[in-house]
Structure 1
Amino acid sequence: MSNQSSIFRSFLISYIIILIIPSLAGYMSYRTSIAVTQSVSIENSLTLLQKSQQMLERRMAEVEGFTRQLALNQDLYVLMNEKTDPGEGNVYGIWKIMKEVMVYGQTNDFLQNYYIYLRNANVVLTPGSAYFRPEHYYEKSHYRDMSLQEWQSSILGRTHSREILPLTPYVGGGAETAVLTFAQSLPLDSFGDEAPATVVVLIDQKTIGELLAGVKERYGGWTYVSDAEGRAISALGTDERAMTAMNGDANFRPNKQNQWYGDDLVITMRSDTTGWVYQAGIPRAALMQNANRIKYISWSVTGAALVVGLVVGWMLSRRNSAPINRLLGLMREQSGKPEPAGQNAYDFLQGNIASMLTNNRWLETELGRQQPLIRDAFLKRLLAGDFQTREELQAAADQANMGMAPDRGYVGILRIRGYAGVKTVEILNELSAARLLLKQQLLEAGMPLHMTDSGADGVVLIAEADGAEEGRAKLDSVLAELADALFHDYKMTIGGAFGDFFATETEVSRAFEQAKEALAFADYAQRKGFCWHDEMSKESTAYYYPLETELRLIGALRAGEEGEALRILEAVIAHNADNRKLSPEMAIQLVVELRGTLLKLLDHKAFADSPMFETARERILALQLQGSLAQVEAEAADLMRMLGAIVAGKKQDMHNKTVEGIKQFIASHYSDADLTLYRIAEQAERPEKSVSSLFKEVTGTNLSDYLEQVRIDRAAAMLKETAATVDDIALQVGYNSSHSFRRAFKRVLGVSPSLYRQSLE
């Protein structure tokens, strides 16, 4: 019980200390936050005003860019330079220009209301209409305090160069507002009293106000923008008269960035680009509101946190001490003894847990010892030629934690001599120790090696080498030193045999077979030391075509790996032609074996249904030795290419059927918004990545692009044939959002759905 209460007290005291420290830090933070709240609010307001300034100037730059684009429009250039009578004009050209400029208003809300005046035709072009009588346009949309004659003389009758008129009352669409006017004559270099054309952009005060509404929405203050001459550009929450009075007050300094004026904190900025003055006012109450809130929240939260923290600390102390007490009881029960005198509960637990960790590390070590068994199994499969493809081989190498499989080098069999026919337990133990010693010496030789046992007295090694001659020379040197060292130090005699150089991973089994063949020859000829395969092949008249090579050749052709099959054929022919002195009878027998291999392959179902079956069969039966083995190799290689083409054709037909099925599935399910690559892959019974790459390979188009094209084509047809809304059509062709549908439609066809429908009218 004393132990339990002491653990509980330790936890409770720790929690109380944890509560006190942040409470003190919170109080200091509270004092600091009160002092900086005002400065932070000022900085935030300044940032909001700067962002509003940047957005407004960027929008105005886009308006200016709009007039520059019109100045470069060839169709507009032709229209404004045509010789025509007033009130008349090129109707088609005017319609074409209206259609071209209509899209500008969709990208910039500052371009919602603009018109182009063509002086030669005395026509006013707007995004939706053309007025051959300007007075008709001015009847619908006009400045409240400007007559028609004043408008014609001051706006249409003068030359303008990026001219911005101040905020002016304006009547349009049955409602009155105030607008900012941007005027530009075309061409851009026009001068004099008249220009061929004039572009006028009317920017609603409400649109400008939306860009400057951040300060007012956040603090309930006001914003005001004026040009370099002090004329109003935008006013939100105030008016021009009040701002004129403030800026003219002797106590107000217009060039100071922030200052108190009355109960408002006034922030002032001047644009280096346009010379406009941006001003914002924040009420004092709004600035101090955050500070008062911080004060109230700080005291409330701190008091509540202390009370709740004490309750929670007490509960956590009980809960957290309970498992330790139970763990202590379990440790005492398992160890059968109480804590040693003078040792607290934590030390007792530490000792027992340390013992458990030691046992766990021992278990991990035992598991790690299994890794060599996996690596040894991989090497045995590699030597046996069990892998049909490089992908399968590399996957097994990764599983064995070998990284890259050996792809260039030599395979050899080393044998400890002097133990033939002896199989007692003592001898087997001695051989086991000798093999370990041999492996250790090989590892210290400095060559990249992979080793596995071969019987009780042998070791198979795979020595990696970059080149045939250099690798063989180094092996000879290493083996000679190894044999001398083993004999001198341990009176151990070794011998062995090596196959030819292998250049790919799949040739390892061939080199291993050569090593076994060379070892058998060395035993038969009673040769000592180390024997190389090419040394014994000169004394042999039998052809070389082992069973595992034949199986690998058949497997490569069935898998469609034509290049691998041709490489195996080349290796077999080269080995028999260059390294063996074959009699004509043996050469004929080799050709018969190759012919039998091709006939076995032809019996596979992939070839039986091919229209080229009979042709291939006749050519295989006609394969015979009529000259050199090189001629046989050329004919056999051509036959393998024919068989490879049949396999490739079968695969291509299967791929085409799969892609056609995918297209049919998309055609019947494109309207489903949940149609995903996963569902398409599930229907095609293939992995998602495989379906995507297969569709791209066969059609040259990404699967997602094809699905989008099908949906947009159907949507275009519905826009042409039906009166359904764009939102309804978006849902019917498989889009959850009309916004994403509009973006996709414009990406595929180059125009928005609304403009596409209008172009069909």
Structure 2
Amino acid sequence: MPKFSRIFRKFLISYIVILFIPSIAGYMSYRTSIAVTQSVSIENNVTQLRKSQDILERRMSEVESFTRQLALNQELNVLMNEKGSDDKVNLYGIWKVNNDIKAFSQTNDFLQQFYIYLNNYNVLITPASSYFQPERYYQTFYYKNLPVDEWKKTVLEQTHNREIMPLNSFMTNGVQTSVITYMQSLPLNSFNGTARATVVVLIDEKVITSLLSDLKDQYGGWSHISDAQGHTISLLGINEADVGKLASDHSFDQNKASQFYNDDLVITIRSKSTGWVYQAGIPRQVLMENANKIKYITWSVTSAALIVGLLVGLLQAYRNSSPMHRLLTVMKEQFGKDVAMGRNEYDFLQGNIANMITNNKRLETELNRQVPLIRDAFLKRLLAGEFRSQEEIAAAAAQVNSELQLDAGYTGILQINGYSGMDSVEILNELNAARLIVKQALRDLGGHLPMTDLGADRVVVIFGGMEAEENNEAGKKEIERILKELAQSVFNEYKIRITAALGNPFANAMEISHTYEQARQALEYALHINKTGVLWYSDAHTDSDTYYYPLDMEQRLISTIRVGDIDEAKRIVRSIITQNMDNRELSIEMKHQLNGELKGTFLKLLDQKTFQESDIFENIKNRIVGIQANVEIETIMQELDGIMEALCGLIVSKKNDNHNKTVEQIIHYIAEMYKDPDLNLYRVAEKVERPEKYISQLFKEVTGMNLSDHLEKVRMDHAAELLKGNMYTVDEIASRVGYNSSHSFRRAFKRVLGISPSSYRLSMTE
């Protein structure tokens, strides 16, 4: 088959289309899975950021609650309302407040560093100490970018109501950090003028960023918190420059909850209570990690499935298109290369197969119409003795579906009387009708008897299935009854008179022509004596001084010897001798003449090329010529038997040699072509140029094995040899020994050897 034939491509395209339909569905499912995974990842990160927001705002609420508690502290209120002076300082009150606020720094990490400034005493109270000169505190704890005067002016002296100073660099005992500053003036209703006291809470950036550290540690992302004015509250994993760039980029939507910016997913949450803006950035590759796993697995599995599916599609396309292609090739060879293909190969096959079926039915109808003619021709050949063997008769009878029983019976001739010497058209038409009437009436009486016309006024009928004995009175009486009823019936209804003549019984189909000749002689005798009714040859027999050796008998003897049937040849010769010696009174001259006729028959046989080229030609010729008429009849018969045995033996030997050569040719051809999966009986018959049925029967007769069984055995023997090694798999071995299907190979191997191929290989390796 061409590597890329049209039908192969059609099969392959159909398989690819079928393969891609679930692939497209899988791709849609894959896209949905990726989108859902991405959405889930974004939702999880938004949730995590919201949780961090909630925690931070709770902590800031705790800071605010802390300032409210301080506003209610009695000791602090006393200190705030006292009039301060340099000479009188309420040290006890300051000490008492200092002790009261120590506990706060130990319970809340947002309150690790705070102080209270009393404006009336100019005192700064911390959990650890009190500073009567705030400048000294600021020398150790100070903002890097805020001078002391500015600090006092903006932080200590102004009133504050839950104010938060954005992120600033801050020095603590020489250690730099960043803090946001929460400021609240006391009392809480200090809105104008100078506050009596100010609470300042310094919240370390590290404490805030620890709430968002999971985003950086887990995802390698960043976070940024800013107040309502855009001032930075906290930074983690990003610098101010990048934050500023993000804020100034018009392509970035500040109000969108989640969006991709560059290679990061940026989540933005705005607090409704504080107005703070929480932003978190997560790298795309981290966010899509699970999705990428799904993507990798999906693409890997899909690619593998597509590759495997494509390979299977190629294999299936080849397997399914190969028989179709071979069928198309045969069709084109039969109908011509230039025959129109039609729309496609199936139309071509449908059209041609439909034509074949139509032609076959037409031929079958025509053959059925010809069957009566063929059957009639078969009967005429049978009566004329043209068949050379019983097998040939049986084959011809089967061909015409003849119901003739070949075992034994009688041959008879029915003569329609009263038309002798008349040959006008009207008479011939009347005789045709009379023959039809007689045959139909005989069928009604005797069943489906083989019959054929003999001239215009005679019908030959064969009564088969009866004992082949001359004294079989029951059979003869039954035939006489049928024929008498026939004669009476056709006479009463149509005024047709008939005479029936029958020969002696025949023992097999080869004797039918002989009994027919007897019936003909009996009919001539009946016409001679003007007898009607039924006459048997045995009743019509009279002594004669002439020998009996009719031409048809001679022809049958020659034909029988030509096919090598020694038994039938001996039977014919004995029949001739018996007929002449027992039933006739022959003179010496007639005996010599009969002997000469028999010798002449055998000399005619020697004229064939088969006998002329043989080594026994001269010997047989001399034996024939040497037969003397004046010897005993038994001696003549023995010599004739010897001559016939030699001639038939030569014929059989020649036939066997030819048969053996044909069988050897078949065996050699199978040994060469067993790998071809298309090797069959038709191909073998084509090679040896013989009919399929002939070579099938011949191979069975010579080898005792069916040809198909021999082919299977040859394939299994080669398969067994290949299974002894490990070079090929079972499927490859199946292909190498001529099987398209490994399943069929396995079944055949187990049927022939009684074991599966795999088990056989295992047993050979052990």
State the TM bucket, normalised to the shorter chain. 0.3 to 0.5
Normalization by structure 2: what TM-score?
A: 0.44
Normalization by structure 1: what TM-score?
A: 0.44
Greater C-alpha radius of gyration: 2
